Copies of this chain bind each other. A is one copy, B any other.
Amino acid sequence: MADRRARPRAGLTRERVLDAALDFADRHGVAALSMRKLGAELDVEAMTLYHYVPNKDALFEAMVDRLVQSLARVEPGDGEDWSAWLIRLGGAFRDALLAHPGALPVLATRPVTSGPSVELVESALRYLGRAGFEPPRALDVLNAVMTFVLGHALAEAGSPPGADESEVDSLANVDGADFPLLALALSAGPRHAERFAFALGTLVRGFATARSR
């Protein structure tokens, strides 16, 4: 009658396994994620997890899918301009990636190939086509945006947790005497968001000339 456990173990499910994995990755880094430790997090032995996930690689894949699927809801609003939509898409992707920085190395290392992501690309091509981009060009545009966002997120998330504490945000403590310009450039603080907006805006604006009509 009393609760079975301090940790809410009741009703283990694939969702909960994935959540725990993402959470663990965010707190300790993917490198530290082992089936045994993940099991311990859920008050379960390692082998139990194999009932919800065929193997560790599939678990990684599922984590990635989870992140990518959050993009499905970024559809163009009524009368929304293609460039505004692209910027919104890029921003949503960035948010999704930074929501779980621990999973980033996994996503970056793996070709995103899941069914839903292909549908995403197709509908993006549809929107861009409507805005006057031929399919190949539209794919170029989409590719440029997504790869840029991925690269930026990687840089922004920086080292995964568990890395050497001493050099966290490595560039933050450069010697102003040896590297005056860099020190000056960094004196304004991180500015990740502005940096991102600046670059994405520049990129998207430039695509205007690539439309066929």
Contact = CB atoms under 8 A, between A and B. Distances in A.
A206 interface: yes
Contact of A143 (B125, B155, B167, B188): B155
A135 interface: yes
Nearest to A123: B181
A7 to B, nearest CB: 30
A135 B206 contact: no
A136 B105 contact: no
Interface of A is mostly: helix
Interface residues of A, number: 57
Given A109-B105, A154-B147, A135 B181 contact: yes
A180 B119 CA distance: 11
Interface string A134-145: 011011100110
A203 interface: yes
A144 B195 contact: yes
A157 B202 CA distance: 25
Contacts of A178: 122
A191 B105 CA distance: 26
Given A105-B108, A109-B160, A147-B155, A203 B207 contact: no
A174 B118 contact: yes
Nearest to A145: B199
Interface in A143-162: 143-144, 146-152, 154-155, 158-160
Given A113-B171, A144-B195, A202-B206, 5 more contacts: A110-B159, A140-B199, A144-B202, A150-B154, A151-B154
State the 6 A-B residue pairs at the shortest beta-carbon distance, nearest first: A151-B151, A147-B151, A144-B199, A202-B206, A113-B170, A135-B185
